[in-house]
């Protein structure tokens, strides 16, 4: 143990002992990053109104409360529907756009790219009130369609960036070879390019799903009436009081996100698309 303290830790021969503060600091930070979220899970099984930790008496009453409430169930259905539809809309049009931007060499391509990532740069409150106004005119306020379209706009930059960066490391001459052998462009794309960038596409799809599922501000404005989302109801409940039901919902949301993250790891960490080293 003592030897370890005096052993060099870096290229500059600084010892572990001298860097001890860094280790302590880093471990504390990592614990603080993870635990606040995870601590909600055991707390949600507490019987008390005040969400003790560790719970004195365990119960699933807050889960019962959640699953027994028609409003929460309706909101959950809306959120899942919106997230699923957002994924189905944003992924194909985002992938198409990324492909188009990647291959087309027209002069205004930079402007197009900037337009594609504006939803990331414009403060989300503005997107929300802008969409709210537009939906009043288009008469799609408080509809699932409107919600999905707005969430699609928010998800598009992620799809374009993730798919676009996969295309950058993909060797386009493979597709050119297919086309010079007589395949039409769409066929070359579907049978040669797409299978090789599929991990990026799957990752984009999951990101699109989560973008919609977790979104609060836009949902606050354009979802409502019969179609409020889960996050909208949660946010409203949070403003009033600390309702322990939210802890059980949070736990379920953590499960959904973790599931998505595992999926992304499984599909996203496969081998990179091929490109010869230049």
Partner 1 sequence: MQAVRINEAGLARDEWFERLKLFGLGSPAMLLILIILVVPVGWLFYVSFIGADGTFSLENYERMLKRKSYARIFQTTFEVSFLTTGLCILIGYPLAYFISGLPNRIANLCLITVLLPFWTSLLVRTYAWLVLLQKRGLVNEWAMSLGLWDEPIKIVHNMTGTLIGMVHIMLPFLILPVYGAMRAIDRDLMKAASNLGASPRRAFWTVFFPLTLPGLFAGSLMVFILCLGFFVTPAVLGGGKVIMVSMKIVSNIELFVNWGAASALGVVLLVATVAILWVASRFLNLERMTGGGH
Q: Which of the residues 8 through 47 are near partner 1 (CB under 8 A)?
A: 9-14, 18, 22-23, 25-26, 29-30, 32-34, 36-37, 39-40, 43
Q: Dump the DSSP string for 46-101.
A: B-STT--SS-SSB--HHHHHHHT-HHHHHHHHHHHHHHHHHHHHHHHHHHHHHHHH
Residue closer to partner 1 by CB (options 144, 216) is 216
Cβ at position 44, least distance to partner 1 in Å: 10
Q: What is the 8-class DSSP label of residue 227?
A: -
The number of C-alpha atoms within 13 Å of 84 and in the hemisphere containing its C-beta is 7
Phi, psi torsion values for 182, nearest 5 degrees: 110, -5
Q: Is 109 in the site for partner 1 (CB under 8 A)?
A: yes
Q: Which of 209, 203, 212, 208 is nearest to 266 (CA)?
A: 203
Residue closer to partner 1 by CB (options 76, 152) is 152
Residue closer to partner 1 by CB (options 39, 183) is 39
Using the CB atoms, write b or e for 137-155: b if 16+ within 10 Å.
Answer: eeebbebbebbbbbbbbbb
Q: Which of 164, 202, 204, 227 binds partner 1 (CB under 8 A)?
A: 164
Taking the C-alpha atoms of residue 267 and residue 254, their distance in angstroms, rounded to an integer, is 20
Residue closer to partner 1 by CB (options 67, 133) is 133
Q: Which of 73, 177, 238, 266 binds partner 1 (CB under 8 A)?
A: 238
Is residue 233 within 8 Å of 246, Cβ to Cβ?
no
Cβ at position 161, least distance to partner 1 in Å: 5
Residue closer to partner 1 by CB (options 53, 58) is 53
Count, residues near partner 1 per rule CB under 8 A: 91
Helix axes 198-214, 245-268, angle to 10 degrees: 170
Pick the stretch among 56-64, 67-75, 162-170, 190-198 that binds partner 1 (CB under 8 A).
162-170
Interface of this chain with partner 1, residues 174 to 233, rule: CB under 8 A:
210, 213-214, 216-217, 220, 231
Interface of this chain with partner 1, residues 125 to 144, rule: CB under 8 A:
125-127, 129-134
Q: Which of 247, 248, 249 is nearest to 230 (CA)?
A: 249
Q: Is 156 in the site for partner 1 (CB under 8 A)?
A: yes
Cβ at position 102, least distance to partner 1 in Å: 9
Cβ at position 226, least distance to partner 1 in Å: 20
Here's the x/- map for partner 1, 58-97, by CB under 8 A: it reads as: -----------------------------------xx-xx
Is residue 156 within 8 Å of 90, Cβ to Cβ?
yes
Is residue 85 within 8 Å of 144, Cβ to Cβ?
yes
């Amino acid at each position: 143990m003592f030897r370890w303290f005096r052993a060099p830790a870096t290229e500059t021969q600084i010892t572990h002992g001298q860097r001890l503060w860094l280790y302590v600091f880093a471990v504390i930070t990592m614990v603080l990053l993870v635990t606040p979220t995870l601590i909600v899970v055991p707390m949600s099984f507490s019987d008390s109104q005040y969400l003790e930790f560790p719970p004195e008496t365990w119960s699933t009453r807050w889960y019962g409360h959640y699953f027994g409430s028609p409003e929460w169930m309706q909101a959950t259905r809306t959120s899942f529907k919106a997230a699923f539809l957002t994924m189905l809309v944003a992924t194909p049009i985002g992938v198409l756009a990324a492909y188009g931007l990647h291959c087309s060499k027209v002069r205004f391509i930079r402007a197009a790219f900037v337009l594609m990532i504006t939803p990331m740069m414009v403060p989300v409150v503005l997107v929300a009130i802008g969409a709210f106004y537009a939906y009043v005119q288009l008469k799609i306020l408080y509809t699932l369609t409107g919600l999905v379209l707005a969430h699609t706009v928010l998800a598009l930059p992620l799809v374009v960036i993730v798919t676009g960066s996969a295309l950058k490391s993909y060797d386009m001459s493979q597709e050119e070879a297919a086309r010079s052998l007589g395949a039409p462009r769409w066929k070359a794309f579907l049978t040669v390019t797409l299978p090789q960038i599929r991990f990026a596409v799957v990752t984009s799809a999951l990101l699109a799903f989560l973008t919609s599922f977790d979104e609060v501000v836009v949902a606050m404005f354009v979802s409502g009436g019969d179609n409020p989302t889960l996050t909208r109801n949660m946010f409203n409940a949070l403003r009033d009081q600390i309702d322990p039901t939210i802890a059980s919902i949070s736990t379920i949301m953590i499960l959904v996100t973790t599931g998505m993250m595992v999926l992304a790891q499984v599909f996203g960490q496969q081998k990179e698309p091929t490109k010869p080293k230049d």
